[in-house]
Amino acid sequence: MNLALLMPEWIVLGILIILTVFELLLVDNEILYKRVRNIILFGGLASVALALMATSGQTGSVFNGTVIVDPFGTFFKLLFTGALAAVIQMSRSFFRARPEKTHEFYLVLWIALAGFFLLVSSNDFLVFFLGLETVTLSFYILTAYLKKDSGSIESGMKYFILGSLASAILVYGISLIYAVAGSTAFPAVRQAFTAAPQHGILIAAACMVLAGLFFKVAAFPFQLWVPDVYEGAPTPVVAFLSVASKSAGFAALLRILWTVFPALEKKWLLVFPAVALLTLLYGNFGALVQTRLKRLMGYSSIGHAGYLLIALSVGGKSGLSALLYYLAAYALTTLALFGGICAAEPYLKSDKIEAYRGLGKRSPFLAGVMFLALLSSAGVPPLAGFSGKFLVLLAAVQANLNWLAFIGVMAVAVSLYYYLNIVRVMYFDESPREDSISVCLATRAMLTLLSAGILAAGIFQAPVLSWAENAVKYLF
Amino acid sequence: MIAFLPWIPLAAALVVLFSSAKNERFLKTITLTACSLCSVSVFIYFLNFKPEGGFQFVTARPWLPAFGIQYKSGFDGINLTLCLLHALVSLAGAFVACAPKERLKEYLFYYLILTGGIYGVFTSLDLFFLYVFFEMTLIPLFPMIGIWGSKNKEYGAMKLTLFITTGAVLAFFGLLLFYREAGIHSFDLVQLAQVLKARGGFSIGFQHFVAPMLIVGFGVIASLWPVHSWSPIGYAAAPTAVSMLHAGVLKKMGPYLILRVAVTFLPEGVKHAAPWLSVLAGIGIVYAGLAAIRQSDMKYMVGFSSVSHMGYVLLGIAAMNSVSLSGTVLLMFSHGVMAACAFAAIGFLYEHTHVRNLHDFGGLAKSMPFVALSLILACLASLGLPGFSNFVSELLVFIGAWRQFPAVVIAAVFGVLITAIYLLRAVREVCYGKPNPRWAHLKDAQGFAERFPFILLLGALLIAGIWPHVLLRVIEPAVGALLS
B76 vs chain A: nearest CA distance in angstroms? Answer: 25
Number of Cβ pairs closer than 8 Å across A and B? 82
- Over residues B246-261, the pLDDT tens digits come to 888 988 999 999 988 8
Q: Do B176 and A469 touch (CB under 8 A)?
A: no
Residue numbers in B near A420 (CB within 8 A): 142, 158, 161-162
B363 vs chain A: nearest CA distance in angstroms? Answer: 36
> pLDDT value at position A1?
63
- Over residues B221-244, the pLDDT tens digits come to 888 888 888 888 888 888 888 888
Residue numbers in B near A397 (CB within 8 A): 173, 176-177, 179-180
**Cross-chain CB nearest to A409 (options B138, B147, B169):** B169
The answer to whether residue A210 is domain-embedded is no
Structural domain harbouring B153: 2-483
Q: Do B147 and A428 touch (CB under 8 A)?
A: yes
B457 vs chain A: nearest CA distance in angstroms? Answer: 31
**Cross-chain CB nearest to A420 (options B128, B142, B172):** B142
- Mean pLDDT within B59-64: 86
Residue numbers in A near B66 (CB within 8 A): 462, 465-466, 469
- Over residues B446-470, the pLDDT tens digits come to 777 778 888 888 888 888 888 888 8
Q: How far is B161 from A396, CA to CA, in rounded Å?
A: 26
160-219 in B: which are within 8 Å (CB) of A? 161-162, 165-166, 169-170, 172-173, 176-177, 179-180
Helix axes A316-348, A293-314, angle to 10 degrees: 170
Assess A403–B contact: CB distance below 8 Å, yes or no. no
> pLDDT value at position B101?
74
Q: What percent of chain B has pLDDT over 90?
A: 8
**Cross-chain CB nearest to B132 (options A381, A397, A428):** A381
Assess A221–B contact: CB distance below 8 Å, yes or no. no
Q: How far apart are the first and last CA of chain B?
A: 29
Q: Do B177 and A402 touch (CB under 8 A)?
A: yes
- Over residues B282-298, the pLDDT tens digits come to 999 999 989 988 888 88
**Cross-chain CB nearest to A409 (options B139, B161, B173):** B173
Assess A178–B contact: CB distance below 8 Å, yes or no. no
Residue numbers in B near A406 (CB within 8 A): 173
To the nearest 10°, report the CA torsion of B78, B83, B88, B91.
170
The answer to whether residue A419 is domain-embedded is yes
**Cross-chain CB nearest to A462 (options B64, B153, B154):** B64
DSSP string, B112-179: HHHHHHHHHHHHB-BHHHHHHHHHHHHHHHHHHHHHH--SSHHHHHHHHHHHHHHHHHHHHHHHHHHH
**Cross-chain CB nearest to A416 (options B63, B147, B162):** B162
Helix, coil or strand: residue B220: coil
Integer CA distances (angstroms), A324 to A68, A81, A302, B67, in order: 19, 16, 17, 17
- Over residues B170-198, the pLDDT tens digits come to 999 988 888 888 878 888 888 888 888 78
Residue numbers in B near A424 (CB within 8 A): 146, 154, 157-158
Q: Which residue on chain A is closest to B181 by alpha carbon?
A: A398
Give the 3-state DSSP-derived string for chain A, with helices as H, strands as E and coil as C.
Answer: CCHHHHHHHHHHHHHHHHHHHHHHHCCCCHHHHHHHHHHHHHHHHHHHHHHHHHCCCCCEEECCCCEEECHHHHHHHHHHHHHHHHHHHHHHHHHHCCCCCCHHHHHHHHHHHHHHHHHHHECEHHHHHHHHHHHHHHHHHHHCCCCCCHHHHHHHHHHHHHHHHHHHHHHHHHHHHHHHHCCCEHHHHHHHHHHCCCCHHHHHHHHHHHHHHHHHHCCCCCCCHHHHHHHHCCHHHHHHHHHHHHHHHHHHHHHHHHHCCHHHHHHHHHHHHHHHHHHHHHHHHHHCCCCEHHHHHHHHHHHHHHHHHHHHHHCHHHHHHHHHHHHHHHHHHHHHHHHHHHHHHHHHCCCEHHHHCCHHHHCHHHHHHHHHHHHHHHCCCCCHHHHHHHHHHHHHHHCCCHHHHHHHHHHHHHHHHHHHHHHHHHHCCCCCCCCCCCCCHHHHHHHHHHHHHHHHHHHCCHHHHHHHHHHHHHHC
> pLDDT value at position A133?
93
**Cross-chain CB nearest to A427 (options B132, B146, B179):** B146
Q: Are A139 and A241 in contact (CB under 8 A)?
A: yes
Mean residue pLDDT of chain B comes to 86
B10 vs chain A: nearest CA distance in angstroms? Answer: 12
Q: Divide the 476 residues of chain A into consecutive groups of 10 and give the mean pLDDT of each group.
A: 83 91 83 86 91 85 87 92 93 85 88 93 92 93 89 91 92 92 88 84 89 89 89 92 92 91 82 91 91 91 93 89 93 94 86 86 89 92 90 90 90 91 88 81 92 91 88 85
Q: Do A381 and B64 touch (CB under 8 A)?
A: no
Q: Do A386 and B132 touch (CB under 8 A)?
A: yes
Q: Do A412 and B63 touch (CB under 8 A)?
A: no
Q: How far is B88 from B462, CA to CA, in rounded Å?
A: 13
The answer to whether residue A59 is domain-embedded is no
Which of A280, A288, A370, A406 should one mutate to test binding to chain B, selecting the residue with the greatest count of B CBs within 10 A?
A406
Q: Do A412 and B169 touch (CB under 8 A)?
A: yes
> Which residue type sits at B107?
Y
183-202 in A: which are within 8 Å (CB) of B? none
344-363 in A: which are within 8 Å (CB) of B? 360
pTM of the predicted model, to two decimals?
A: 0.92
Q: How many residues does chain B have?
A: 484
> In total, how many domains does chain B have?
1
Reported ipTM: 0.89
Structural domain harbouring A460: 270-476
> In total, how many domains does chain A have?
1
Q: Do B172 and A405 touch (CB under 8 A)?
A: no
Residue numbers in A near B14 (CB within 8 A): none
The answer to whether residue A83 is domain-embedded is no
Q: Do B136 and A465 touch (CB under 8 A)?
A: no
Which of B10, B16, B19, B64 should one mutate to test binding to chain A, selecting the residue with the greatest count of A CBs within 10 A?
B64
pLDDT above 70: residue B344? yes
> pLDDT value at position B94?
86
Q: Do A397 and B176 touch (CB under 8 A)?
A: yes
Q: Do B135 and A423 touch (CB under 8 A)?
A: no
Assess A63–B contact: CB distance below 8 Å, yes or no. no
Q: Do A420 and B67 touch (CB under 8 A)?
A: no
**Cross-chain CB nearest to B177 (options A375, A397, A412):** A397
A122 beta partners: A67
pLDDT above 80: residue B82? yes
121-150 in B: which are within 8 Å (CB) of A? 128, 131-133, 135-136, 138-139, 142-143, 146-147
Residue numbers in B near A307 (CB within 8 A): none
Q: Which residue on chain B is closest to A394 by alpha carbon?
A: B176
Assess B65–A contact: CB distance below 8 Å, yes or no. yes
Which of A325, A414, A423 should one mutate to test binding to chain B, selecting the residue with the greatest count of B CBs within 10 A?
A423
Count CB atoms within 10 A of the CB of residue B387: 13
Q: Which residue on chain A is closest to B138 by alpha carbon?
A: A380
